[in-house]
Amino acid sequence: MTAFQDILEKIKHYDSIIIHRHMKPDPDALGSQVGLKEIIKYNFPDKTVKAAGFNEPTLTWIAEMDDVQDEDYKGALVIVTDTANTPRIDDKRYTKGDFLIKIDHHPNDDVYGDIHYVDTSASSASEIITDFALKTGLNLSNTAAKLLYNGIIGDTGHFLYPATTSKTLAIASKLRTYNFDFAAMSRRMDSFSIKIAKLQAYIFNNLKIDEKGAACILLTQDILKKFDVTDAETAAIVGTPGKIDSVQAWAIFVEQADGHYRVRLRSKSTIINEVAKRHKGGGHPFASGANSYSLKENEEIYQELKELLT
Q: What pLDDT does 262 receive?
A: 95
Q: What pLDDT does 283 receive?
A: 84
Q: What pLDDT does 284 receive?
A: 85
Q: What pLDDT does 161 receive?
A: 86
Say yes or no to pLDDT of 2 above 80: no
List phi, psi (to 5°) of 92.
-75, 0
Of the pLDDT bands very low, low, confident and very high (cuts 50, 70, 90), residue 162 is: confident
**Average of per-residue pLDDT across 163-173:** 97
What's the mean per-residue pLDDT of the chain? 95
Q: What pLDDT does 71 receive?
A: 97
Q: What pLDDT does 219 receive?
A: 98
Question: How much of the chain, in percent, has pLDDT values that exceed 90?
Answer: 88
**Average of per-residue pLDDT across 152-162:** 91
DSSP bridge partners of 292? 261
Q: What pLDDT does 109 receive?
A: 85
Q: What pLDDT does 29 receive?
A: 96
**Average of per-residue pLDDT across 107-126:** 95
Which domains can be identified in the chain, with CATH numbers? 3-189 (3.90.1640.10), 195-308 (3.10.310.30)
Say yes or no to pLDDT of 1 above 70: no
0.75 surpassed by pTM: yes
Of the pLDDT bands very low, low, confident and very high (cuts 50, 70, 90), residue 310 is: confident
Contact partners, residue 95, CB within 8 Å, separation at least 6: 78
Which pLDDT tens digit goes with each residue over 225-269? 999 999 989 988 999 999 999 999 999 999 999 999 999 999 999
